[in-house]
Each structure stands twice: as structure tokens, then as C-alpha cells.
Amino acid sequence: MLTLLPTYRLLLLALSLPAASPRAQAQAPPSVIPADSLVHVAAGPQYNRGWLHQLMWGFHYRKEWAEPVTAPVFNLRTAVPGGLKPVKEGGSFQTRNLRLVAPDGRQYVLRSVDKDATAALPEDLRNGWIGRLMKDQTSVIHPYGAYIVPRLAQAAGVYHTNPRLYFLPDDPALGEFRQAFANALYLFEERPEGDQRMVSSFGASNQVVSSKHAFTQLVATPRVHVDARHYLRSRLFDMWLGDWSRREDQWRWAAFRGPDSTTVLRAIPRDRDHAFFKFDDGVLTRIVSFVKTNYQTFTRDIKLHDVEGLNRAARPMDKSLLVYLTAQDFHQVADSMRLALTDKVIAEALQVWPKEVYALSGEEFQQKLQSRREQLPRVAEEFYRQLARDVEIPGTDQPERFVVEAAGPWQAWVRVYALRPDGNNGRLIGQRLFDARQTGSVSLFGLGGNDEFQLVGQPDRRLRIRIYDGQGQDLVQQLQVPPRALKTRVTIYDSGDGNLLKVDKKQVDIEAYQPKANEYDGPGWLLRHRLY
């Protein structure tokens, strides 16, 4: 979670970080806990540190971690009808997950409330001062932050999991996972994968797939597309929560049958570990925040100059999936969310916290969520502005026709069609009117298939157009060129694999080049999304 600068080492040693393991410091529960009872336990008492340490390394959510809460005991035999069987350990470098399967095949997961980022370190560093500091900085995460998200997401029109807080005892039914998982707090939730027709918060989809599966389909065929406005709603919701870690593996995708036998994918955000992040409230962590601008602290204000850092992890997805949305789309979605996330909704969401946690965080979160809600329209405007600077429009590994049409001063239309075998336009994949006062460049990527690129009229030279042919033998041609046309700012990057270029070289630049792996075809494009 935190990359420590070498100059901090003496300060760290002076503060004498403890060497004891987190499990050794945690409260010791009774050796035998009856099923279906209640326990009173803290999620992370080891994060309750002295004033000097907190001054230097952050006050964070240490009080919330150290505060004991009342939680029901998790009973594998009665959690769902027929009981649950532990089958697999998983999780990221921070959260430890235990996958569970019900008799009907539906899958669930227990996600650890406490985190441990030291798994990302080499083994010889995990128990040293760097490992201890990284573990200590788990306190930047609110231990029960994910717990309030479902009610907020429901109001915002965003898909969501439904975590419930439990204490997992030392249960023999855990089998081989008993030693690693017993005696800790967990969030129990549905695992968003496969047939989820019984889960309305996943859209009651009969097929929920991973990001790798979804993006593989997106680049394989134009008959699969993402509901872009729904994805935008999810992304603005992320910003409202201050959730800056939204890389591709933090999502699942609910598939639905669309018109003309197409498939529509809608986003399911998961893993809210970095929502409500509180990082810059220590002397040294504030210094680090100037360098790691993606470490966004959940404050009353969403500063416009922080929007880039807040969205850096999801930028490849945003550029691909939001490419055909307009500024008006961004404004409409943000304004509808602002109206839906009422004070009453926020208050109801916070009431699900254990009363001990609400006493510590309730008022703070109420004020921050209300303030950030009012800023959603201007944040959406800034988000659009950043994405509009330089636009990338991918095709698929099937044949497409890209049409760039002059639309007067400053402006040009870009339309992308599926290309039928008879050479006519098939289904319109997407279109957008670009304005050089907002957009500096538009890059078109044919990827696979024998694609066509048409330049209709004289695109305004203040708008740079880049054409990347990719795999296949492509056609690039100019149509309706006006007399005495001036030189455009269109560049064709020709890989030399048999493309046919019907253009005036006095008006259009042609450059020979070797396509990069992530410019060549569908599997290559997945490299941009860290999925191949």
C-alpha cells in the first residue's frame, strides 16, 4: 500500500515500530464459541498507536480499528440453506478471501476485514521495518467502509455486492483452512460470477463474467458492447466514495441479451477496500501523498486537480468504454445521481454500521458524503474534459468501417460501423462529434479484420487524426475532397501488410511503422488493460 522512501528509515527506527505479528496482538477470543452467538471484538487493535507515531504516520482510522464491535458468529452449516463448504483460498495482495460453495452450486466469499499488504513484498522484507510499516498503514482503510455501500449504490443505480459482517470462529468445518482463517472478522457476500438470476443487485443476470472474459469478447466481435452510461454511473459513484483503486480486476460484468442478438455488458464494481481512504493526516504520509497522487484522501471536497489521480488506475478502461459518450451524457448522469443520493439515503446507509462505529464515524461521513454529492456535476465535467483531450477508438478483430467526416470549423464526426460481407455498412457501433477546442487528437485502431477508413470532406486541421491499421489488409480512402483542399493533420500509420491507400499524399501524411503489441489486434489490445 505504501512505498517507503529510504530517508524515512531512521525516523521509523526512532519510532520503534513493534515486531510482533498482527495476529499475536489481536484480541484473543474464547477458545470455543457457540455457533449462532454474538461476540464483541475489535477488527485491528494493533493499529492503536501512540500520539507521536500517529502524528508522523497518520491518525487514519485507528480508533475505528481498535473499537470492539458486536458481530454475529458465522455458522457454515446454517449461513445458507444446506450449508456452505470452503473450497479455495484467494484474494489480492491485501485482502484474504475464502471461497464457499452451497449445495446448489452458488458461490460466496468471506473477505477479511483486516488487510495485509506485505504479501506484495519479498519474503525477506515482510517481517522487517518495511513490512511492519506497510502493515501499520492498513489503518488508512476504514474497516467497515464497504458495509455502507449497498444502500448508497442501490439509490445511485449502481450494481453492488451485499456484504454482511461476521466473526468466523475456530470451526472444525473449515477443514484445511481452519488455522489460516479462524478467529477474525469477515464480510460475507455473494461471489459475482456465473448464473446470478436470483441476485437483483447484479441485475439478475444469468451470466456474470470476469473482466478478462468481458474484454476478450469486446475485442472479438462488435456484437458485444458495454452499457456506457451505466459504467459511467459506476465510475462517478467510485469518485464520490473516494475509491481510487478501480483497476480491471476490481470489476465483474453482468451480461444481457440486447437487440439483434447482441450482448450488453453492465459493470459490477467489487472490492471497496480503498473507498473512504484517509492517508494525508500525518507529517510523513502527507509528504508521500504529494508523490503518490493516486492516494486520494476522502475529504469534504473532491478537488478538481485531484480527479486525474483519483482515476488513474481505471484510465485504460475509461478511455475505451466511455469513448462515445458526450459532455451532455456526463452531465445528465452526474445530475441524476446528485438528486438520487438524498440526505435520507445517506443517513439510512450509515445506520447499518455497528453502533460503536457509528459513534466514531457517523457524523463525519454524513457531512463528507453530502458535500461530495453536491460536487458530482463539476467532477463529471472535469472527468469528461480529461478523457476528451486525446481519444482512442478501438475496432474489433472483425471488419469495421471508420468514417471521419468534416463537420465545419473545429469539428468532425467519427462513426464506426460493422462492415457487412457485401461491403455495406452494418450496425452502427458508435458515433461522436469531436471539437478541436476540447480534443487534441483522435486515434483510430482497426485491430483485426480487413477494415476500411474513410475520410469524408476536409477535417479541420486543428483536430489531429491518427489511423492505425493493425492486422489485416485495410483500405484507407478520401471521399468528397473539396477543390484546392488544404493539407490536413491526418496521419496514416501503415504497417505495410498489403493496405490499399487511396489518398492524396499532399494532404495526408503516411508513415511506415511497426505496430506495437497493444496496437495490433484484439489480444494485443488487452495488454492495455493488463488482462493478457
Overall average pLDDT of the 470-480 stretch: 92
**Looking at residue 187, what is its pLDDT?**
95
**Looking at residue 70, what is its pLDDT?**
94
**Looking at residue 12, what is its pLDDT?**
39
DSSP 172: G
DSSP 177: G
Task: Indicate whether 35 pLDDT > 80.
Answer: no
Closest CA to 463 of 388, 410, 413, 393: 410
Q: Is 188 helix (H, G, I), strand (E, B) or coil?
A: strand
The larger pLDDT score, comparing residue 9 to residue 118, is at 118
Task: Indicate whether 386 pLDDT > 70.
Answer: yes
The larger pLDDT score, comparing residue 335 to residue 249, is at 335
Extended beta strands in 410-522, E state: 411-419, 425-435, 441-445, 452-456, 464-468, 475-479, 490-494, 500-502, 509-512
Domain assignments of the chain as residue spans, ordered by start: 38-389, 395-529
**What is the distance between the alpha carbons of residues 472 and 154, in angstroms, rounded to a whole number?**
45
Helix (H) or strand (E) holding 522: helix 522-525
Lowest mean pLDDT among 37-46, 60-69, 522-531: 522-531
Average pLDDT, the chain: 89
Percent of the chain with pLDDT over 70: 91
**What is the distance between the alpha carbons of residues 308 and 291, in angstroms, rounded to a whole number?**
13
Task: Indicate whether 120 pLDDT > 70.
Answer: no
Overall average pLDDT of the 116-133 stretch: 73
Q: How confident is the model at residue 32 (pLDDT cuts 50, 70, 90)?
A: low
Task: Indicate whether 3 pLDDT > 90.
Answer: no
Closest CA to 195 of 206, 184, 204: 206
**Looking at residue 486, what is its pLDDT?**
80
What pTM did the predictor assign?
0.90
Alpha carbon of residue 407 to chain centroid: 35
**Looking at residue 508, what is its pLDDT?**
93
Lowest mean pLDDT among 110-124, 195-209, 213-227, 384-398: 110-124
Q: How confident is the model at residue 92 (pLDDT cuts 50, 70, 90)?
A: low
Q: How confident is the model at residue 6 (pLDDT cuts 50, 70, 90)?
A: very low
Helix (H) or strand (E) holding 406: strand 400-406
pLDDT digits (tens, 9 = 90+) for 334-366: 999 999 999 999 999 999 999 999 999 999 999
Task: Indicate whether 69 pLDDT > 90.
Answer: yes
Task: Indicate whether 91 pLDDT > 80.
Answer: no
**Looking at residue 532, what is its pLDDT?**
58
**Looking at residue 369, what is its pLDDT?**
98
Overall average pLDDT of the 380-408 stretch: 96
**Looking at residue 16, what is its pLDDT?**
40
**Looking at residue 389, what is its pLDDT?**
96
**What is the distance between the alpha carbons of residues 389 and 401, in angstroms, rounded to a whole number?**
24
Cβ proximity of 391 and 434 under 8 Å = yes
**What is the distance between the alpha carbons of residues 270 and 16, in angstroms, rounded to a whole number?**
36
Task: Indicate whether 235 pLDDT > 50.
Answer: yes
**Looking at residue 151, what is its pLDDT?**
97
